[in-house]
Amino acid sequence: MKLFDVYPLYNINIVKGDGCKVWDENGTEYLDLYGGHAVISIGHAHPHYVKMISNQVANLGFYSNSVI
């Protein structure tokens, strides 16, 4: 698939995040300064966020947008 050439793509496979750090598949640690787009910037695996998402997914993870 050809993506828009908006920004460079890096050949890094991020597999884990904790707070402001991420790790690639080789165990290399990176300081994550990227806030992203369409994301929340609370860090990776924030305990409150993990708890709230887990609670929600335990009840209902997705439902069609064909209902209000």
How distant, in Å, are the alpha carbons of 6, 33, 54 from that of 20? 24, 7, 21
Residue of 38, 40, 10, 34 whose CA lies nearest to 20 = 34
Q: What are the mean pLDDT values of the chain's consecutive 10-residue runs (68 residues total)?
A: 76 92 95 75 86 94 80
Give the amino acid at 46: H
pLDDT for 63: 82
Entry pTM: 0.64
Predicted pLDDT of residue 37: 67
Which pLDDT belongs to residue 1? Answer: 65
| Contacts of residue 30, Cβ cutoff 8 Å, sequence gap at least 6 | 12, 14, 21, 22, 23, 24
